[in-house]
Amino acid sequence: MPKQTDYLIIGSGVAGLATAYFLSELGSVTVMTKGEVRNTNTYWAQGGIAAVLAKEDTFESHIEDTLKTGVGHCNEAAVRQMVFGAPKAIKFLQSIGLKIEKEPMLEAGHSRARVWRSSDFTGRDVLEVLIKAVQKKENISFLEKTDAVELIVDEGECKGAFIRKDDEDEIEKVAAKHTVLATGGLGQLFSKTTNTLGSGGDGLAMAVNAGLELKDIEFIQFHPTALAIPKEGRHFLLSEVLRGMGARVVNKREEAFLNKFDPRAELAPRDLVSRAVYVEELTGPVYLDMRHVDEGKVRKKFPNIQKALKEFNLDLTKDLIPITPVAHYACGGVPTDLKGATRLPGLFAVGEVACTGVHGANRLASNSLLEAVVFAKAIAEGLEKSVSTDAEKNVNIDSFEAPNVIIEDINQVKAYGRRIGQIMWENVGIVRTAEGLTKAKKEIVAIPARDYRIQHRQLVCYKIIEACQARPESLGAHYMTKDIVQ
């Protein structure tokens, strides 16, 4: 295990691996991940990468769609950096082996077809080419099945992280000249989510414990079309591209109803569709209906989704697919500048854990993989200027004392995690009330956890609830009502 590295990257999704690839040109890189390298939300991302590549499309149109979906809450400078960086991001991924389909797809919130896919599991394809690319770099090492416990902060600067390997009790440390949080999302704070089991907001908790504030964390995006049948702690996502190809959302009477909520119906932004499905579910099940779309086209475009549904004895071309809205993506996070730097010197953040401001109050479909690659490159470009001064840095890790952390029985940890998920889903979910937020805060604090993993989750939940309470009016993915919805 490396005790010292130039760049420590915490997380192995598209954000972490792209950053590792770019930073490997500047020095030694260590990538650590809670599970195995492929155990990330990137692996399950389906839609694609939004980019202006077609002649009939324009950068201004992509920018406008992003700003509109973000409900005027975006950082326009960050949006422009992302949108104008999209063609280079696609070109980079192609250069390391990603195969892109010839025709773009249409997704909700986009005024034009500009979502470029490699397959119906684009995230997995992106991850695989990145893994192969970074494995060829001799100066990139991996720490798998390793928890980041706490950031090392000394004299007002981040100098690495305290870590815990393979469920061992011993806390070790890795010193770094620069540390990058690429820890992904927080979906597992909710009982219904598309996110993998490790997505509990650890990066956010470590940032807060290091003295940083979070931004826009009340804007949790709920995806409207996840398979209603959970498996292994998560719900399988049914890509927005399905609706872009004509799939309808119908109620128990097989009636389409989204046009009652928004004239764009199936192609309305996720926050609107999620709330519509949520309300309709109060009177019965909701389904995704694609039976009217050409069977050959469906089977050709969505082989992986079809294969996944087969495990549940379902077929897109023959069955109504039961759906439900679930926690999917955190639009806010650790605030950064346009080079990925946080307010803590030595610490950077990229991907879902970061808040660049590109998503505002609600994320536009297929901007997430794009954001990760564009800002990973921005971090490397920013740090390239400091390589000469970094050479003189010598971080003495012997002076850092490991924190005293308590590790409880794993079954107790899981039980606390389930309780947190239930509290957050019932009170801080798609529809929120002032009473529910107050109730959730009290119940989260009352959980008698001593284990650092649950304390991380409690801290992030508390920050989310605080942010919700500080914004009594509805905006984007944050929807407040005075009525208690049952």
- Of 359, 385, 321, 322, nearest in space to 476 by CA: 359
For residue range 399-435, what is the model confidence (pLDDT) as tens digits?
Answer: 778 888 889 999 999 999 999 999 999 999 999 999 9
Count of alpha carbons within 13 angstroms of residue 275, beta-carbon side: 20
pLDDT of residue 2: 61
Using CA atoms, how far apart are residues 472 and 39, in angstroms rounded to an integer? Answer: 36
The two tokens of residue 173 are: 């440390």
For residue range 22-74, what is the model confidence (pLDDT) as tens digits?
Answer: 999 999 999 999 989 998 989 888 889 999 999 999 999 999 999 999 999 99
Catalytic pick from 117, 270, 453, 457? Answer: 270
pLDDT surpassing 90 at residue 104: yes
Q: Is residue 1 very low, low, confident or very high in pLDDT (cuts 50, 70, 90)?
A: low
Quick check: is 363 catalytic?
A: no
pLDDT of residue 47: 82
As beta bridge partners, residue 409 has none
For residue range 347-400, what is the model confidence (pLDDT) as tens digits?
Answer: 999 999 999 999 999 999 999 999 999 999 999 999 998 876 666 666 776 777
pLDDT of residue 390: 67
With the CA atoms of 195, 272, 111 and 305 taken in that order, what torsion angle do they form, in degrees rounded to the nearest 10? 40
pLDDT of residue 486: 46
For residue range 301-333, what is the model confidence (pLDDT) as tens digits?
Answer: 999 999 999 999 999 999 999 999 999 999 999
Using CA atoms, how far apart are residues 50 and 83, in angstroms rounded to an integer? Answer: 8
Amino acid in position 376: A
Neighbours of 283 (CB within 10 A): 10
pLDDT of residue 392: 60
Average pLDDT over residues 6-18: 97
DSSP states along 236-254: -B--HHHHHTT-EEE-TTS
Q: How is residue 164 annotated by DSSP?
A: E
**Lowest-confidence segment of 70-84, 260-274, 338-352, 453-467 by average pLDDT:** 260-274
Q: What is the mean pLDDT of the chain?
A: 94
pLDDT of residue 169: 84
Query: Which superfamily is assigned to 4-219+331-399 in CATH?
Result: FAD/NAD(P)-binding domain (3.50.50.60)
Using CA atoms, how far apart are residues 121 and 103, in angstroms rounded to an integer? Answer: 16
- Of 269, 330, 239, 223, nearest in space to 110 by CA: 269
The two tokens of residue 400 are: 């850092």
- The alpha helices in 24-71, defined as continuous H runs, are 59-69
In CATH terms, the fold of domain 225-326 is: Flavocytochrome C3; Chain A, domain 1 (3.90.700)
Using CA atoms, how far apart are residues 151 and 161, in angstroms rounded to an integer? Answer: 4
- Indicate the domain borders of the chain: 4-219+331-399, 225-326, 410-469
Q: Is residue 182 very low, low, confident or very high in pLDDT (cuts 50, 70, 90)?
A: very high
pLDDT of residue 241: 87
pLDDT of residue 275: 94
pLDDT of residue 95: 98
Entry pTM = 0.94
For residue range 224-242, what is the model confidence (pLDDT) as tens digits?
Answer: 999 999 988 889 999 888 9
pLDDT of residue 483: 57
pLDDT surpassing 90 at residue 446: yes
Amino acid in position 237: L
